[in-house]
Structure 1
Amino acid sequence: MQFKKENILIVDDDIHILELLQRHLHSWNYHTYKAVSVKEAVQILRDTNIGLLITDLKMPEIDGTELIKFVSEHYPHMPKLVITGYPSVQDSLVAMKSGVVDYLTKPFTKEELKTAIDKSMDHGVGSSNNSVSSKNSHDKKADVIGAKDNSYGEIIGNSEKIIDVIQIIERVKDNKATIFIKGESGTGKELVARAIHYQGKFSRAPFISVNCGGIPENLLESELFGYTKGAFTGAEKERVGFFQAANGGTIFLDEIGNASKAVQTRLLRVLQEKEVVKVGAQKAEKIDVRIITATNSNLKEMISKDAFREDLYYRLTVVEISVPPLRERKQDIALLVDKFLFKYGVEYKDRFIKISPEASRILQRYDWPGNIRELENVIQRAVIMCDKEIGVAHLPDTLKYSIDFPKGELPPLKEIEKRYIRKVLNATGNNKTKAAEILGIDRKTIRQKLSE
């Protein structure tokens, strides 16, 4: 089933209402996200491009009015629709002042819901949170990245290099060309793979992610392609592999450089013949899968060492996407920090955590050899250690300014020993007995050392 591009978030603590709304919305070809609490809703909003919010007002812990206020400030162009079983004049006034387009009272008919949704969607046309001004220095991102949240799927950023990546994704997302993603560890290669799948027309099909470096070499082949009963010791029943599970969708093979020659040969057959053969089987099975691979290894260097098949390399790299390291897209650091502050603030503190200007400057200055993964780790730890605001004291020492002292001389061991003996003698007032005791030697030895 093909969904319209609008994603609708439904928030209600009543599971039955959520399921009813979801059925109605699916019948009109909308793509829905469900949340049973404001906390869960906020997490979805931060990670997903939502076109319409439908929320109840009366909910435990935090009510829907707080969610409406939050959305009004963080996503001012997002249309909002309220559905409640406990209507009140005060609540309706608060909702309308916060930009709610319509206000439905339970129970309501399917037709009333459709009318309210259409009205809300019409209100948001031309001013949704996915719109971008075309009169700025980043005009080329206008159709692919949101002006408000600076996100594309799970990819966060508005730097030129990340926009270049997004533009390639836009070109390849609706076909099944084989794609190779390269980049340093921690740059977000899997996020790029997920964006290719979930932003395109195959988003309803399976997405299977496989870390080839995390599966023992002797098991990778059977895990990828499946096996028949009795194919090897322990194969007590037939099992489908990751390729069969991804049929119709996308399989993402991370750290493909770790694949053995046997796996490489089988993978080449999949690419050439569009079929897989289970370990221990004779009959091939036809599959329709888009293959995305990634690595932080230099495959061309591996080819020169006969560690990777050259013919497979050219099959895998029909389209290449190079994910930039964080040090080359430093203007995105502030956006990523905001995302992680909110994510871990909600998770650990149940509130948004701030960061001081001094701490922000340190984060901008650092080169992040571990890339986004390292940045997320630093923010996660800092959120745990702080109260309301992350300061310089909450950042690891490796990020802070360090002095490169000049390297001193490297004297021989005998000279170091002489200096230390003199230091101990000075400390003991030239008391040789006490000095010998501290040095762990007898007085005769210390006299011998002094004479030398």
Structure 2
Amino acid sequence: MKHICIVEDESIVRDIFARLLKRKNIHITFFERGDTAIEALEQGACFDTIITDMMLPGKSGFDVLQTARSLNESIPVIVMTAYASIDSAVDAMKGGAFDYITKPFNNDEVMMIVDKALKQMSLLTENRQLKEALEEKYGFSQIIGNSQVMKDVFDLVRMAAPSNTTILIKGESGTGKELIARAIHYNSTRKLKPFIAVNAGAIPADLLESQLFGHTKGSFTGAVAERTGLFEAANQGSFFLDEIGNLSIGLQAKLLRVLQEKEIMPVGSNTIKKVDTRMICATNLDLEREVQKGTFREDLFYRLNVIEIALPPLRDKKEDIPMLVKFFVEKFSKNNNKVVSEISPEFLDALEQYDYPGNVRELENIVERAVVLSRDGILKREDLSDKITKKRKAKVFAIRSGVSFVEQTLEFERELLKYGLERSNGIQKKAAELLGLKATTLHEKLKRHQLK
């Protein structure tokens, strides 16, 4: 039920509002004095809308307006005034009033204004709840880990989030780079503005520029209409660009302009547009090595690398596995209407022995599978796939006399490539990430060694 506060010293006006709002099933709290209304607000009274006369004993309606706005700037305040003192209503509107009513008033017009105020408050409340849900989903509580390395990451994220500084997140695939980026955004001053995430490796290079910067109608084949770019869509918010190492040199130059000048130019346009966007970038490559190889601009690297957040692979923080498993078990038990009452030590031990080429994302998938397939509410070793539980023998590469350096190097490279493919289940993109190679470089090496 909606709750409206009415501050009015004339009993006849209070009676009219009582009759009008009762029809709408609206709860009403009346105050006859401005000072008592202000006291109630300061003590925490909450209302969906406030209607106040301007001329009141104790404190004025303008005082009520100012107090209400200082405590909750989103609450609609409707002021009432006699026609002869319309100037005071204008002052109230300048002070943040939602609308004003002149006495004597028309009942239908009053209810129209009240309905608009209540709808606005409902929308603002819904938006706030949505933002709070997003903050809960992407806040620090969703980043799980008790290892020292993760505590260091948390501290760095907390310090960096409130600023507008560019962030570079480094880590293998599946380590949670986008989760960190969202946590930064939703704990920053930009949290009520858009968060736009783009994976540069998932969009064909010839389309990426128009996606990022937008384009004009007819600027290229298929550009049948003008399109707003994602940088512009993220204005006043945060822009997360994943796999930034995949950008072409040409796009790197345009990104540098965004960072330096806060400007974009849509494809096919000569018009420069200003954008206010916080950049958060991520990569699984060693960008310093890419700079040395000439595939990544040095000036862009230094622009991006203001604050670097390095996310460790799961194999380097296995002490976090029990906490992560507990979190995922609770999540997937709820999602799948399953009751899991126990996680056996053998189940955890098997998970702690595995190396996780897919990192936390792979662990999440493993736990989801185990929860869904569990029979008696106890997660046991047999609920895991053979891939997790089977023992692996380490490959030993021995130096052989009489074989040239080049031949042995190529043989070792071949074994590394086979290892990468095996660990990534034959998925070349994952194998490239595991081996620290670009996808095109891995493809060339596989072709040279006749591996598939």
| Pair 1:322 & 2:310 matched | yes
Task: Output the CA distance in 2 between the equivalents of 1:22 and 1:253.
Answer: 42
Uncovered stretches (5+) of structure 1, i.e. residues with no partner: 1-15, 32-109, 111-145, 408-452
What amino acid maps onto 1:279 in structure 2? Answer: V
What does residue 152 of structure 1 align with? 140
Q: How does 1:4-43 map to 2 (within 5 A)?
A: none
What does residue 109 of structure 2 align with? none
Task: Output the CA distance in 2 between the equivalents of 1:223 and 1:23.
Answer: 41
Task: Output the CA distance in 1 between the equivalents of 2:394 and 2:170.
Answer: 37
Over 3 Å counting, the alpha-carbon distance change for 1:360 and 1:253 in structure 2 is same
Question: 1:335 Cα deviation (Å)?
Answer: 1.4
Over 3 Å counting, the alpha-carbon distance change for 1:238 and 1:309 in structure 2 is same
What does residue 74 of structure 1 align with? none
1:182 is aligned, of 149, 154, 170, to 170
| Pair 1:247 & 2:235 matched | yes
8 A Cα contact 1:342 1:353, kept in partner: no
| Pair 1:348 & 2:313 matched | no
Instruction: Give the secondary structure class of the aligned counterpart of 2:336.
Output: helix
What amino acid maps onto 2:190 in structure 1? Answer: F
Over 3 Å counting, the alpha-carbon distance change for 1:29 and 1:206 in structure 2 is farther
| Pair 1:398 & 2:387 matched | yes
Residues 277-327 of structure 1: per-residue CA shift (max 9 Å, x gap): 111110111111100100101212222222111111111111111011112
Q: How does 1:224-373 map to 2 (within 5 A)?
A: 224-352=212-340, 354-373=342-361
Task: Output the CA distance in 1 between the equivalents of 2:355 and 2:395.
Answer: 23
Task: Output the CA distance in 2 between the equivalents of 1:337 and 1:406.
Answer: 30
Task: Output the CA distance in 1 between the equivalents of 2:379 and 2:159.
Answer: 40
Over 3 Å counting, the alpha-carbon distance change for 1:320 and 1:283 in structure 2 is same
Question: 1:23 Cα deviation (Å)?
Answer: 5.9
Instruction: Give the secondary structure class of the aligned counterpart of 2:356.
Output: coil
Instruction: Give the secondary structure class of the aligned counterpart of 2:231.
Output: helix
Q: How does 1:153-172 map to 2 (within 5 A)?
A: 153-172=141-160
8 A Cα contact 1:153 1:198, kept in partner: no
Task: Output the CA distance in 1 between the equivalents of 2:297 and 2:325.
Answer: 40
What amino acid maps onto 2:292 in structure 1? Answer: S
TM-score by length of 1: 0.56
Aligned residues with identical type, % of pairs: 48
What does residue 203 of structure 2 align with? 215
Instruction: Give the secondary structure class of the aligned counterpart of 2:240.
Output: strand
Task: Output the CA distance in 2 between the equivalents of 1:170 and 1:272.
Answer: 25
Over 3 Å counting, the alpha-carbon distance change for 1:210 and 1:345 in structure 2 is same
Measured on the aligned residues, the alpha-carbon RMSD in Å equals 3.0
What does residue 425 of structure 1 align with? none
Over 3 Å counting, the alpha-carbon distance change for 1:235 and 1:23 in structure 2 is farther
What amino acid maps onto 1:395 in structure 2? Answer: L
Over 3 Å counting, the alpha-carbon distance change for 1:22 and 1:232 in structure 2 is farther
- Structure 1: which 4+ aligned runs deviate by more than 4 Å? 21-24, 26-31
Question: 1:161 Cα deviation (Å)?
Answer: 0.8
Uncovered stretches (5+) of structure 2, i.e. residues with no partner: 1-24, 27-45, 50-67, 75-117, 119-135, 397-452
Instruction: Give the secondary structure class of the aligned counterpart of 2:191.
Output: coil
8 A Cα contact 2:338 2:372, kept in partner: no
Task: Output the CA distance in 2 between the equivalents of 1:242 and 1:289.
Answer: 10
* Structure ranking higher in helix proportion: 2
What does residue 42 of structure 2 align with? none
Over 3 Å counting, the alpha-carbon distance change for 1:234 and 1:349 in structure 2 is same
8 A Cα contact 2:200 2:244, kept in partner: yes
Over 3 Å counting, the alpha-carbon distance change for 1:176 and 1:359 in structure 2 is same
| Pair 1:379 & 2:364 matched | no
What does residue 102 of structure 2 align with? none
Question: 1:349 Cα deviation (Å)?
Answer: 2.6
Over 3 Å counting, the alpha-carbon distance change for 1:291 and 1:403 in structure 2 is closer
TM-score by length of 2: 0.56
What amino acid maps onto 2:284 in structure 1? Answer: N
What does residue 201 of structure 1 align with? 189
8 A Cα contact 2:199 2:243, kept in partner: yes
